[in-house]
Chains A and B, each alone.
Chain A
Amino acid sequence: MGNFLLGLQSLLNGQILLCILIGTVVGLFVGAVPGLNDTNILTLFLSFAVFMEPFPAIILMTAVFTSCQTAGSIPAILINIPGTPSTAASTLEGYALTKRGMAGQALGCSFASSFFGSLIGGFLALVFAPVLGRYALSFGPPEMFMLALFGMTAVASLTGNSIPKGLLAAALGLLVGTIGTDYFEGVTRSTFGVLELYGRVPQVPLLLGLFGVSELYTLLGKKSVASSQKHIAQTNIKNQWEGFKAAFHYRITMAFSAVIGFIIGAIPGTGATIASFTSYGLSRSLSKESDQFGKGHYEGLVATDCANNSSVPGSIVPALTLGIPGSGTTVLFLSVFMMHGLTPGPSFFKDFIVEANAIFTTVILVGLIAMLAGMMASNYMVRVVSLPIYVLGPVIASFCLLGAYICRGKVNDIYIMLAFSILAFFLKKFDYSLPAFLLGDILGSLIEPNFFRSLSISNNDYSVFFTRPICIVLWAMIILTLIMPAYINYKNKKRNSKSAA
């Protein structure tokens, strides 16, 4: 609490408060527009940061980073297009709720979960940052491989009705993750000679194709997104409050997801996307209402949005304590520090304790402001879903096409988006899980290089995956995650048969 008050005290300054407000508004806008994300806006911001003091600049960046995660869920819930890549998991339950005519409730639940994620994540960072920074370094290639494998257990919860179909979608995603230049030999794989695929399949066009354009194909025969116009018309603060309260019915899931998000966020090279999918998978495995997941269940939305937001302070921790960025966006944080001659590292918390605390306090404060602003504005936001398809269709098309292009300024990215939208259309048509495909693609980029790096450092000794302490813990968690649903099912059946008797 002392750290929080110390941080809060240093924020009580006109210039800093203005930075927080501007950052929050910019972040809310950027997060809500598909195709724009925190990384590309903060890259543009770097040219301004040279002329600013380092502390206000970092506070402003933190505000953009945090509010972007909250706002990214808005288009994910309303039109099934994730505002930022990290909010892709929010489409799973959020959009399902919208289709049931519960867009207001979904947004209320999402804002509450996002704020709680920021709150818990911020406090965890204030308390554990100096200690956790040291542990983040003990994640070598074998641990990263095991972590990716642990993330793959979430596929089990994303498979839908047919397990083989879910596994096939995940395997296809993993295969798509191998497209591009090989990490070790430098040869190109399955690029069709397209230069834009030499790195790997770009994430934004892939996401927009999978979720945005493919949804447009589905909407072509409909009049609007929501199943019931009546429910949309009734969306008001009461409905949002209903969703807000519903989120707090799942307090344990909230706390659990926030901790998972924070820990995964703190591991360099992971990020919010893996955090939110892993949290979703774990929550579904451990939930008593796991059969409701995928049909528009609050608990799933709580799990994804809480983990997503708590991963923000998590990813800042290694950047400050070790000088190792936890995500793409925190690389830019380090750039600003270095521009001003400051070097984050183990001594940072000794020399700049007040500033470090202020950064994490900003996460909490911005979480609160973003939630309030979102709730006030969402009455207007939900009207998006009641727009007739001849207005909404062109809006979705424009954002997807422009979003695919502006990320890298390459026209071929539009073709890549189109190719994945066609694949997504058929995957959806034949009941293959799109989120499983996406998770496969994301984790594919972690699994292969870390597998070979692990074997390189251990002289091709496979026991490296079984002997290191963190690997053993991760093995135990994998086994637990796979066994737990069966155990819960068994217990539920036993309880039901007892009550029937």
Chain B
Amino acid sequence: MKNDKKAPVGEYIFLLSVLGYLGYYFFDIRSYPFRAVFWPHCLMGAIVALVVLVGVQSAFKPVHEGEQPGDIPAPLLFMQRFKQGGPIAAVIAAFAFYALLFKALGFNVCNLALTFWLSWMLNPGSKRVKTALVTSLVLTVTLYLVFGVILGMKLPTGKLFRAWRF
């Protein structure tokens, strides 16, 4: 049978990233006194050993039917995975933008924009704009009333709006 055991490349990249982080941590604390490095060093040793163990185990793990990519050509497989990971990457980017603009635009504008986009993106139906608008408006107003008005928490109003004396 072709492609009986494929190396779990994704998991290996993940494990290598873990080792990469350990490398950063190791060099970050290399000049510190014994008591500050003892426990992290013990953990790093354990993690390296476990990464090797998991890596070896994954290499010999039998691939179940349905898990293996089969005979799909590499470019097509890449496109398939990109399609699966695309929305996740988009959500991460949207969250990062939200955080970036949070102080400048304030909670209300940021939340309205993010929830509108998210609802629009997740809805394959025909009335997606209307649904997204209603969802984002109701959600933002409710959160503002509960957290900002009833609980009296300080939600950022936005530097731009403050400058315009809104």
Contact = CB atoms under 8 A, between A and B. Distances in A.
B109 interface: no
Contacts of A389: 122
Interface string B12-55: 00100010000011001100110110011001101100110110
Interface in A223-252: none
A74 B98 CA distance: 27
Contacts of A217: 88, 91
A416 to B, nearest CB: 10
Given A168-B54, A414-B98, A402 B147 contact: yes
Interface centre among A44, A174, A184, A220 (most CB of B within 10 A): A220
A196 interface: no
A221 interface: yes
B96 A418 contact: yes
Given A189-B29, A220-B88, A182 B35 contact: yes
A194 interface: no
For B39, B84, B128, the residue with the greatest tally of chain A CB atoms inside 10 Å of its CB is B39
Nearest to B44: A175
A178 B25 CA distance: 11
A394 B135 contact: yes
B111 A398 contact: yes
Interface string A95-124: 000000000000000000000000000000
A229 B110 CA distance: 32
B4 interface: no
A441 B22 CA distance: 16
A405 B154 CA distance: 10
Given A168-B51, A190-B28, A390-B132, A397 B43 contact: no
A12 interface: no
Contacts of A405: 102
Most interface-central of B35, B92, B98 (chain A CB within 10 A) = B35
Interface in A175-223: 175, 178, 182, 184-185, 187, 189-190, 213, 216-217, 220-221
A451 interface: yes
A44 B32 contact: no
Interface stretch (A277-285, A286-294, A298-306, A421-429): A421-429
B15 to A, nearest CB: 9
A189 B31 CA distance: 11
B98 A406 contact: no
Contacts of A397: 91, 95, 114-115, 118
Contacts of A269: none
Contact of B151 (A44, A174, A187, A398): A44
Most buried by A among B87, B119, B154: B119
Contacts of B95: 213, 397, 401, 414, 418
A430 B11 contact: yes
Interface residues of B, number: 60
Contacts of B132: 390
B79 interface: no
Contacts of B88: 217, 220, 425
B57 A164 contact: yes
Contacts of A500: none
A49 to B, nearest CB: 16
Contacts of B151: 36, 41, 44
A287 to B, nearest CB: 27
Nearest to B94: A397
B99 interface: yes
Given A167-B50, A411-B103, A430-B14, A398 B43 contact: no
B115 A394 contact: yes
Interface string B69-93: 0000000000000001001100110
A377 interface: no
B10 interface: yes
Contact of B84 (A44, A164, A165, A221): A221
B61 to A, nearest CB: 9
Contacts of A168: 47, 50-51, 54
Given A171-B43, A217-B91, A393-B122, 5 more contacts: A164-B50, A178-B43, A190-B40, A409-B154, A414-B99
22 contacts: A36-B151, A164-B53, A164-B54, A167-B46, A168-B47, A171-B46, A175-B43, A175-B47, A185-B35, A189-B25, A213-B95, A217-B88, A390-B122, A391-B135, A393-B118, A393-B119, A397-B115, A402-B111, A405-B102, A411-B102, A418-B96, A451-B39
Q: Which 7 A-B pairs have the closest CB atoms?
A: A390-B123, A394-B115, A390-B122, A414-B99, A168-B50, A185-B36, A182-B36
